[in-house]
């Protein structure tokens, strides 16, 4: 009676380069999944080659707005002879993705939660950034509005200055270019800025430079790409 | 001409359950590694089944105190026809482990850095905790001394209160039990505390409860085990 936290690839790829064989074999034994998106979960199970026929697999929607009654019902479906998986659309469920609310219920009812290895853009970006990995914070999305956004950027810079904690954050893909321009303009030129784009995919592009150096280079086109930004010293 | 950031298992296990086949095949093509510990790196390469004979593989030590001259020399060894890997003792290099300093040099000399998928105790603990994964911070080791330690614990609790950012931290294995007792005593009883022990290993044990609930249960023996603590709401 377990709930497996199952990572999925960060984008489309014909080959599986990111999910360990052990995780594939666990998935192949499950017929119950709580998922961020039913359509992409079905595509993932097909891609991974689950041997259980589609009509025998139950996929139930899970979001941050799932009600406590729904979450309770989901937990009740997990039985001694029926484990389940949690799948987000891309990456690791529960980390910058739904899933945490159901896991919290699982702990309350003493259902064992097993995290499985797979790709996390946050972790991979941090590994490849060369920035401080002894202390770091993931801040999620920056505020959209100009003044709040400026305050948030300034607060991150102050945090780096006082603690050297690496700050990891993101933006909606269509606003990536605007954010990069703003960062390069407003940040202290001596700070290190890493841009990690399309991580683990064919066009992966990761670069760390001082803000001063970014100002001298032509900026990459990040429009509509999955990108993480990391600020450090 | 690439530097691969290569994760390794979080403990001994006969089977490989955590390293994707794709990563194994990349490792099998490398004969140059910069490593936290030469002995454990050699054991890892043997365990993973690298086809390159031991005497043809170069393992060079890498630590946070490696000099700039050493790091520069290491980068010069990476050539268009010779990529290299970075290995820490366990888990992901550059994340709560050495490697970041060499990666920073790689960026300076425009050597491509490729992060590979594998186990990170920090990420796996967060996934399985059910705590806020939209915002989180890894704080590393708590201060050893009593007063500084109290201040650090209080600061984390204040951070959770004001931002709901999950706080992830650790202690030297021989002091895990003392830390858990202290946390259960001093934290606000309504807060959620997750203890994640021996992640991805045979005796993995992960539990999230309110501090109030922890006070009523007999505490687990965490002595000498690799453990992460997570505080949230």
Which residue in the set A113, A127, A204 is minimally distant from B95, CB to CB?
A127
Give CA–CA dist A49/B31, Å, rounded.
Answer: 33
Inter-chain residue contact B130 with A106, CB threshold 8 Å: yes
Q: Is A15 exposed, middle or buried (0-12, 13-18, 19+ CB in 10 A)?
A: exposed
* N-terminal to C-terminal alpha carbon distance within chain A: 45
Which residue in the set A119, A134, A199 is minimally distant from B96, CB to CB?
A134
Which residue in the set B103, B138, B199 is minimally distant from A135, CB to CB?
B138
Give CA–CA dist A207/B20, Å, rounded.
Answer: 25
How confident is the model over A64-83, as a mean pLDDT?
A: 96
Angle among Cα A152, A147, A122 to the nearest 5 degrees reads: 30
Inter-chain residue contact B132 with A100, CB threshold 8 Å: yes
Beta-carbon count within 10 A of A53 CB: 8
Give CA–CA dist B184/B171, Å, rounded.
Answer: 15
Give the CA distances from residue B227 to residues B52, B99, B209, in Å, rounded to whole numbers and listed in that order: 35, 22, 16
Per residue of chain B (233 residues), what is the pLDDT tens digit? Answer: 999 999 999 999 889 999 999 999 999 999 999 999 999 999 999 999 999 999 999 999 999 999 999 999 999 999 999 999 999 999 999 998 889 999 999 999 999 999 999 999 999 999 999 999 999 999 999 998 878 999 999 999 999 999 999 999 999 999 999 999 999 999 999 999 999 999 999 999 999 999 999 999 999 999 999 999 999 99
Among candidates A187, A182, A181, A186, which has minimal Cα distance to A220?
A181
Q: Is A67 exposed, middle or buried (0-12, 13-18, 19+ CB in 10 A)?
A: exposed
Burial B63-83 (b: 16+ CB within 10 A, else e): eeebeeebbeebbeebeeeeb
| Residues in Cβ contact with A17 at an 8 Å cutoff, skipping those fewer than 6 apart | A200, B20, B22, B23, B117
Give CA–CA dist B42/B33, Å, rounded.
Answer: 10
Task: Give yes or no for B49 touching A (CB within 8 A).
Answer: no
B121-129 vs A121-129: helix crossing angle, rounded to 10 = 160
Tokens of A124: 């991979």
Between residues 143 and 172 of chain A, which touch chain B (CB distance below 8 Å)? Answer: 165
Average pLDDT, chain A: 96
Which residue in the set A16, A123, A204 is minimally distant from B123, CB to CB?
A123
Task: Give yes or no for B130 touching A (CB within 8 A).
Answer: yes
Among candidates B130, B124, B123, which has minimal Cα distance to B193?
B130
Q: Is B14 exposed, middle or buried (0-12, 13-18, 19+ CB in 10 A)?
A: exposed
pTM value is: 0.97
The C-alpha of A44 sits at a distance from chain B's nearest C-alpha, in angstroms, of 17
Q: Is A79 exposed, middle or buried (0-12, 13-18, 19+ CB in 10 A)?
A: exposed
Q: Is B16 exposed, middle or buried (0-12, 13-18, 19+ CB in 10 A)?
A: middle
User: Which residue of chain B comes nearest to A124, CA vs CA?
Assistant: B115
Burial A29-45 (b: 16+ CB within 10 A, else e): ebebbbbbbeebbbebb
Inter-chain residue contact B199 with A22, CB threshold 8 Å: no
Inter-chain residue contact B101 with A130, CB threshold 8 Å: yes
Give the CA distances from residue A194 to residues A184, A208, B105, B230, in Å, rounded to whole numbers and listed in that order: 11, 4, 13, 27
Place of tokens 């309504």: B190
In this prediction, residue B9 carries a pLDDT of 97
Inter-chain residue contact A107 with B209, CB threshold 8 Å: yes
More confident position, A226 or A96: A226
Please report residues of B whose CB lies closer than 8 A to that of A105.
130
Q: State residue B97 phi and psi, 5-degree precision.
A: -155, 160
Task: Give yes or no for B20 touching A (CB within 8 A).
Answer: yes
If you count them, how many residues does chain B have? 233
Inter-chain residue contact B106 with A130, CB threshold 8 Å: yes
In this prediction, residue A146 carries a pLDDT of 79
Q: Which of B97, B99, B123 to mutate to test the interface with A (most CBs of A within 10 A)?
A: B123
Burial B130-167 (b: 16+ CB within 10 A, else e): bbbbbbbbbbeebeeeeeebeebbeebbebbeeeebbb
The C-alpha of B148 sits at a distance from chain A's nearest C-alpha, in angstroms, of 15
Q: In which element (H, E) is residue A123 found?
A: helix A121-129
Q: How confident is the model at residue A144 (pLDDT cuts 50, 70, 90)?
A: confident
Beta-carbon count within 10 A of A193 CB: 22
Among candidates A65, A68, A57, which has minimal Cα distance to A28?
A57
**A24-67 pLDDT per residue, tens:** 999 999 999 999 999 999 999 999 999 999 999 999 999 999 99
Inter-chain residue contact A137 with B134, CB threshold 8 Å: no
Task: Give yes or no for B100 touching A (CB within 8 A).
Answer: yes
Give the CA distances from residue B67 to residues A127, A133, A220, B63, B113, in Å, rounded to whole numbers and listed in that order: 20, 19, 32, 9, 20
For residue A8, what are the β-bridge partners? A91
**B159-188 pLDDT per residue, tens:** 999 999 999 999 999 999 999 999 999 999
Please report residues of A whose CB lies closer than 8 A to that of B129.
94, 100, 103
């Amino acid at each position: 009676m377990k709930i497996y936290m199952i990572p999925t690839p960060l984008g489309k790829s014909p080959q599986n380069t990111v999910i360990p064989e052990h995780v594939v074999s666990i998935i192949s034994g499950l017929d119950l999944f709580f998922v961020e998106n039913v359509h992409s979960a079905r595509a993932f199970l097909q891609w991974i080659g689950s041997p259980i026929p589609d009509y025998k697999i139950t996929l139930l929607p899970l979001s941050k707005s799932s009600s406590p009654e729904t979450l309770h019902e989901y937990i009740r479906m997990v039985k001694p002879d029926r484990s389940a998986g949690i799948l987000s659309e891309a990456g690791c469920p529960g980390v910058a993705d739904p899933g945490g609310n159901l896991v919290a219920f699982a702990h309350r009812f003493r259902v064992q939660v097993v995290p499985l290895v797979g790709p996390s853009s946050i972790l991979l970006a941090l590994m490849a950034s060369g920035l401080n990995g002894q202390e770091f914070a993931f801040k999620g999305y920056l505020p959209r509005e100009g003044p709040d956004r400026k305050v948030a950027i300034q607060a991150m810079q102050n945090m780096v200055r006082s603690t050297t904690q690496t700050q990891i954050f993101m933006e909606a893909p269509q606003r990536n270019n605007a954010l990069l321009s703003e960062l390069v303009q407003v940040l202290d030129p001596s700070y290190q800025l890493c841009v990690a784009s399309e991580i683990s995919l064919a066009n992966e592009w990761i670069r760390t430079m001082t803000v001063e150096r970014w100002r001298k280079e032509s900026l990459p086109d990040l429009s509509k790409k999955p990108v993480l930004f990391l600020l450090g010293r």
